[in-house]
Amino acid sequence: FLPSAPHNSKEYNIWLIFTKVTNVSTLSYKFRDLLHNLLNVSSVPLRFNIIVDKGSQTIAENQISETLYGNKSMVYSFYDIEESAKKIQDIVEVMTPHFSSKPGTYYSDALFYISLGLYRIAPQSQHFAILLDCDLYFKKDIALLFNEFDRFKPTALFGLAPELTPVYRHILHMYKAKHNTTFGEFYHDNNISNDVHPKGFQGYNTGVVLINLGAQRKSLEFPKLILNESVQAMTSKYRFRGHLGDQDFYTLVGYEHPHLIQTLNCGFNRQLCTWWRDHGYSSIFADYFKCNHDVVVLHGNCNTRIPK
Ligand code: UDP
Ligand code: MN
């Protein structure tokens, strides 16, 4: 693979969050496996940016050195979670009452909202970033994911794939009882008609988040969107009480301001968690879970084992 001229000027920033890790945490192995996987599957030079606490950084360093054998090399930097949390404190304060299950301990809340404030944490020289969960497995080249930035509509700040469970049908229960809406309904081709979700909209999952940091920094709309008034208006309109952090917010933005989000197809974040199938939604779960696109990324969410 010989990168052409435009590719040379491109950045391939990967962001990972690796905190509260102990030597016995499965997160530690998920992290090592993902690094190993990415180094093998990537045709482009990745720059890793890893948000850590002190203890987790030591474990990360050990896992990185296990991954780098032979002549492999990897470009990476660490960012401190406490410093990062301070930079997004306003966002976390607005969001947690609506989207966190039990708000309020130390930096733990900030973890779930990093994607929204990454434009303040990342060096100004970074214009594009992809934030990844650690419980992912790439079946295909991650360059395919970076290429999705080229398909962004001009107004999009974020790129997200659909949530593949009925969780937002569940959360919208009260609103849907009184309003005729496609929100919360399942939808099988997320490439068509990005703007209005006329045929159903399952919400978004944040295991994979594409962020146009440059556009976000310049946006006049985004700073207003994260104000209390805006979040309050959206949550009360839809009677929305979530527990999934940033992805609850993006789902609401998908309802009210869809021009800000580019919907990626489900193959870019093929979730595997089947929890909702066994909790009241057995008859319709399959409609939400189905993904007809080529799988680029598998996501072993809710600790689901990834078939490799
Ligand atoms: N994470 C972390 N420490 C934790 C829990 C989560 O650093 O104690 C990070 C990690 O990057 C992880 C992401 O947050 O991949 C989201 O958590 P997880 O993937 O377990 O959530 P799920 O996808 O199952 O909802
Ligand atoms: Mn995950």
User: Average pLDDT in the 127-156 region?
Assistant: 98
Atom of ligand 1 lying closest to residue 304 CA: 24
Q: pTM of the predicted model, to two decimals?
A: 0.95
Q: Given pLDDT bands bounded at 50, 70 and 90, which one contains residue 5?
A: very low
Site of tokens 């937002």 = 168
How remote is the CA of residue 172 from the centroid of ligand 2, in Å? 23
Q: Is 134 in the pocket of ligand 1 (CB under 6 A)?
A: yes
What confidence category does residue 294 fall into, taking pLDDT thresholds of 50, 70 and 90? very high
What ipTM score was computed for the predicted complex, to two decimals? 0.99
Q: Is residue 8 predicted with pLDDT exceeding 60?
A: no
pLDDT at site 264: 96
Q: Residue 199: its pLDDT value, please?
A: 87
The better pLDDT of the pair 69, 267 is held by: 267
pLDDT band at residue 147, thresholds of 50, 70 and 90? very high
* Ligand 1 contact, 17 CB (< 6 A): yes
Q: Which residues does 175 contact at the CB level (< 8 Å), separation at least 6?
A: 181, 183, 237, 238, 239, 240
Strand pairing class (158-162; 204-212): antiparallel
The three-class DSSP label of residue 123 is coil
pLDDT on residue 9: 56
- 133 CA closest ligand 1 atom index: 15
Q: What is the pLDDT of residue 198?
A: 79
pLDDT at 293 over 80: yes
pLDDT higher than 50, residue 6:
no
What is the Cα–Cα distance from 44 to 37, expressed in whole angstroms?
Answer: 13
Instruction: State phi, psi for 268 to the nearest 5 degrees.
Output: -85, -5
CA distance 195 to 62: 45
Decide: 302 in ligand 1 pocket, CB within 6 A: yes
Rounded to whole angstroms, the Cα distance separating 140 from 285 reads 27
Per-residue confidence band for 282, with pLDDT thresholds at 50, 70 and 90: very high
Tell me, in angstroms, the distance from the centre of ligand 2 to residue 147's CA.
22
Residue 261: CB partners within 8 Å, gap ≥ 6?
A: 156, 157, 158, 159, 160, 204, 250, 253, 254
Q: What is the pLDDT of residues 178-226, one digit of tens each?
A: 999 999 999 977 544 455 687 899 999 999 999 999 999 999 999 999 9
Cβ(239) – ligand 1 distance below 6 Å: no
Task: Report d(CA 121, CA 20) in Å as an integer.
Answer: 19
DSSP state of 112: G
Q: Can you give the pLDDT at residue 105?
A: 61
Region 164-191: mean pLDDT is: 92
CB burial of residue 102 (10 Å; 0-12, 13-18, 19+): exposed
- The one-letter code for the residue type at 87 is K
CA 132 to ligand 1 centroid distance, Å? 10
**What would the pLDDT profile of 77-98 be if each residue is shown by its tens digit?**
999 999 999 999 999 999 999 9
What tokens does 281 get? 């939604």
Residue 136: beta bridge partners?
299
Mean per-residue pLDDT of the chain: 93
Counting residues of the chain whose pLDDT is more than 70, the rounded percentage is 93
